[in-house]
Amino acid sequence: MPYTIIANLAVFVVLVIILLKLSKGEMELSRKVLMGLVGGVVFGFGLQGLYSVKSPAVIISTLEWTNVVANSYISLLYMIIMPLILISMIAAIVRFDLITSLRKVSSSVIAVLLFTTILSSIVAIGVIDIFSLSAVSLVSGDQEVARLVSFESRQARIEGLSGSSMLDPFISKNMFSSLADGAGFVFTISVTIFATLFGIAACKFVKENPGHEVAFSKGLDLICGIFMKMVQMIMSLMPYGVMALMARIATSINISDIFYLFKFIAASFVAVGIVFLVHGVFLIVIGFSLKRFFNGVFSVLTIAFKTRSSAACIPLNVEVQIDKLGVPKGIAKVAVSLGASLGQNGCAGIYPTMLALMVAPTIGVEVDFQFLVMLVGIVAITSFIIAGVGGGATFASLIVLSAMGLPIVIVPLLIFIEPLIDMGRTPLNVNGSMTAGVITGRFLNKERA
């Protein structure tokens, strides 16, 4: 190995050690990722400046080694996607079963949350088109070309089917095969169907055998807890994966491409604002005063903006719905409980849709009507999947991109700007749950009258 390559790798190792020392303690993941991104950009631009003119082969040889870190981390992310879908969907089914005593209330709340999530996805499609956003500079490489080949082969298999035969692949003959095959629309649906059946069967079994209820509940909590701990371990490695990814990307882009992210942030807030208006339209349709609504919810939205946590808003959310919006107590509790994880308009609707539409053109996927319908459908399903264990925008994006056969590289690369975007997404998520509570309250009250 030439000494120049050894020297380059030594510099990369030093940057990893520096990042390791600087990121110790209780620092937020987004800040750690930002430091990794900066380190990768510095290293990549350094390689570009030193070798791009006279010795481009040195850059290629160096990246062959740093790519081991980058590709290994991306593989770890792919590894957890299908198990995440399976475990999260089972947990979601069990969770929904706990509120069957309020079946009509929960059905109405879920319908509103799901419908607004679908509309949020459609809004994101329009915003991406208006801003002409693309991730061409951020997503590139041989791995993505391979993903395109895989995507096209799956598309060919689907297009080769006709009529009712298109539904056949969704029922897997071998669940382990679907889990092993990994990303793809068909495999995602197959695993979701299996998890749904398993969750329903588990709930029925526990009801028929009450003696197993405690053991089942503890067992499910244990499995979810262990899996989420593994997810946390993988996520903790993200700064180093991002450093290696950015080292690769920075060798072929200009510094101006990095500032393209500010356009994405602006587009995200525009989409959030439009969905807030959509919530307002729903309130006007049911005859609820917008002034009363937003005067009442302002304090909750403020907390959501500051904390970027829907869970932190739950106590005040319930109180405001009951005292200021006139929502019955039972409905308010169900709306807040479901809205804290299901049908999150910002995290499960807008964000994954925007990432998918930004990534698709980078690997030559045609964004046609069929693609958009499939995307909105996957977004809607994902809003249920992440309900079991939370996970937020990152997990939702991983699942949506994987299900669409798109590269997931962009997800870790954008983690460092998530806190800023989340300041808009979280209030939107909370506002969605309160809107669902008000609509459900009005609907059920009229029905009883």
Q: Is there a domain that residue 251 lies in?
A: no
Neighbours of 243 (CB within 10 A): 28
Domain count, the chain: 1
Containing domain of residue 385, as a range?
Answer: 102-140+256-449
Q: Which has the closest alpha carbon to 406: 152, 199, 148?
A: 148
Asked if residue 79 belongs to a domain, the reply is no
Long-range contacts of 23-28 (CB under 8 A, 24+ apart): 23/239, 28/419
User: Pick from 13, 390, 355, 92: which is nearest to 232 by CA?
Assistant: 390
Residue 33 forms part of a structural domain? no
Count of other CB atoms within 10 angstroms of residue 198: 16
In a domain, 441, yes or no: yes
* 8 A C-beta contact, residue 359 and residue 135: yes
- The per-residue pLDDT for range 165-216, each reduced to its tens digit, is 445 556 666 777 767 665 566 677 788 888 888 888 988 898 898 888 888 8
Max CA pair span of the chain: 83
Residue 353 pLDDT: 96
13 assigned to some structural domain: no
pLDDT grade for 148, boundaries at 50, 70 and 90: very low
pLDDT tens digits, one per residue of 15-68: 999 999 887 777 888 889 989 989 998 999 899 888 888 888 999 999 999 999
**Contact at 8 Å (CB) between 18 and 227?**
no
161: Cα within 13 Å, side-chain hemisphere: 14
The rounded mean pLDDT for the chain is 83
Instruction: Kindly report the CATH number assigned to the domain that includes residue 122.
Output: 1.10.3860.10
Report how far apart, in Å, the C-alpha atoms of 28 and of each of 37, 231, 295, 296 are: 14, 16, 33, 32
264 within some domain: yes
Number of alpha helices (DSSP H) and beta strands (DSSP E) in the chain: 19, 0
Query: Residue 103 and residue 398: Cα distance in Å, rounded?
Result: 31
Reported as a pLDDT band with limits 50, 70 and 90, residue 302 is very high
Q: What is the pLDDT of residues 81-125, one digit of tens each?
A: 888 888 888 887 777 665 555 567 788 888 999 999 999 999 999
- pLDDT category at 358 given cuts 50, 70, 90 is very high
Q: How far is CA 64 from CA 1, 20, 252, in A?
A: 12, 22, 15
C-alpha dihedral sign at 75, 81, 83, 87:
positive
Alpha-carbon gap, residue 362 to 364, rounded angstroms: 6
CB of 69 within 8 A of CB of 20?
A: no
Which helix (H) or strand (E) segment holds residue 19: the answer is helix 3-22
In a domain, 40, yes or no: no
* Residue given tokens 């053109």 in the structure block: 361
Establish how many alpha carbons lie within 13 A of residue 158's alpha carbon, considering only the half-sphere containing its beta carbon.
16
